[in-house]
Every structure is written in C-alpha cells, then in structure tokens.
Amino acid sequence: MRRDFSIFFERYHWPTDKGQIPFCIGHRGASGHVRENTLAAFRLAAELGAEMWELDTQITKDGVVVVSHDDHLERVFGVNRLISEITAAELAALDVEVPTFEAVAALARETGTGLYIELKAPGSGLRCWHHLREHDQRFACIGSFDTAQVRELREAGCEYPLSVLVRLGDDPHAKGDEARADILHLCWERANDQPQDLVTPALTDRAFAEGREIVLWHEERRLVLDDIMKLPVLGICTDLPDLMRTVESSERSSVKQG
C-alpha cells in the first residue's frame, strides 16, 4: 500500500528531507545500549540514525519539566526519591542523569532530531508546548496514554501533532476520538509473537479515513521489525535504532512509502 505523508508533513512543518519513513523513533533514546532518557542515550540514538526520540516527562516540585519515565528514581538510578517531591536544584545535586526537557530540546535542535514526547506528569504538556513554540521547534509530537492530557492541548490550541497511546485491548479509534488525537500510537508489543498481525488493513484504512496517522510500539525482534517496516505507518519506536536502520529497502523514501 502506498501512503503519502506529504500533507501531514506540510501541515505540521516537519522536514520532508529527514531520513526515511517509517521514522525510527529511539525509545527513551538508544535505551538498548545506554541508560534510558539520558542525554547520552539521545545523542547515541541520533548517531545511529533515529529521526526522532521518544521521551517521557515528569515535573519537579518547583515546576521544572525533566525527562524521566518514572517519578520515582529507584528503578533506573537506585535512589529512593520522587522527582515530584524535590526541586530541580535538589535533583541536579543527586547522583542521577535526569536531564531537563529544555536540555533535551536543545540537543534535538543541535542534532536535527525530532521529539516524540510522552507526557507522564499532568501539566507537563503545556510547558513542553510553550517551550517548543518559543524556539520555533516544529519537528515534534506530543502525546500520552492519558486522553485528558492530550485533549487539554487540543483545547488550548496546540498546533503540534497530538498522539494518543493505546494499550492492548483498548479501541484505538475510540481513544483517538476521546483524545482528539492526530496519531494513534499502538502499544501492542506484548500482544503475542506476531503483534504485526493486529495492524490490519481495516484498522489502518479507518484511521486514515478519519485523518489519523499511526505509530507503532517499541520493537527489537528482527522478524517482527522486518514486517512492520513494510506497513504504511509514520514511525516505529525501538530501543535499538541501529537494528532498525540496518534494514535495507529501496521502497522507503522521505515522504512516501510503498
């Protein structure tokens, strides 16, 4: 199936000469190689060919947006503290690598990489949007599992593409309507050994008819990745950008996919 993404790219002022479609979206950076959601992980993902970085947002006690999947620092850093209960200065004084959103956005501008922002902490979306707008940083998308956070941005007039993350078992089209999203992000990696079979023509055709694009889960299985890279989707997340970018296909192009 041929999918023309040029209208989407033009609407949101995304670069039409950046890499290949589907975009390789480094999941928390190149998190299969180095510690997730760190500046090192993001820089490495760009070096390995990722067109975008998926990142997660939390907010410190004094309202600074930082990049971390968890509010609690225990899982990643072995530190028994909550980001939401300490100030940005206190966080910076700890032996942890939690960058501010502003620092990651600056690195994205330096490397020409897009930002695929997953909102965790409520209230982080408006702050991220305003920062991006101030820097005219258009190569970005903002989304969440929380439909209320996505809808908040839509109702505030956010001009960036908005994504809703969809858990296995949820109706993606209903979630898209509830969030008023532009992108359905299907988080179905744990469905079975062949989750690609769930991305049916009926699902994609309906999404496209309703004016939505599709992004797929983080995938590190070679055979699955080979299959989903043939689907008419905007992007695929992966912990291993180098695995995705070793796939050779003359059918991939910057704006159109066949």
pLDDT tens string 18-75: 889 999 999 999 999 999 999 999 999 999 999 999 999 999 999 999 999 999 999 9
Q: Could you give the angle at the alpha carbon of 233 between the alpha carbons of 119 and 47, nearest 5°?
A: 70
* pLDDT average, residue stretch 226-252: 83
Q: What is the per-residue pLDDT for 143?
A: 98
Q: Please name the amino acid found at residue 138.
A: R
Residue 172, preceding peptide bond in cis (omega within 30° of 0):
no
d(CA 258, CA 250): 9
Domains identified in the chain and CATH numbers: 3-57+103-257 (3.20.20.190)
Per-residue confidence (pLDDT) for residue 252, from 0 to 100: 39
The residue written with tokens 């889960």 in the block is 217
Per-residue pLDDT, 1? 59
Determine the pLDDT at residue 253.
41
Measured distance CA(41)–CA(30) in Å, rounded: 5
**In the prediction, which pLDDT does 255 show?**
45
Contact in structure between 59 and 119 (CB atoms under 8 Å): no
235: Cβ contacts below 8 Å, ≥ 6 apart:
21, 22, 23, 24, 25, 51, 52, 116, 215, 216
Instruction: Using a pLDDT cut of 70, give the percent of the chain over it.
Output: 95
Q: Under a CB-based contact definition with an 8 Å cutoff, are residues 165 and 187 in contact? A: yes
Q: What is the reported pLDDT for 254? A: 44
* Closest-CA residue to 93 (of 56, 121, 128, 60): 60
In this prediction, residue 249 carries a pLDDT of 40
Total-model pTM: 0.94
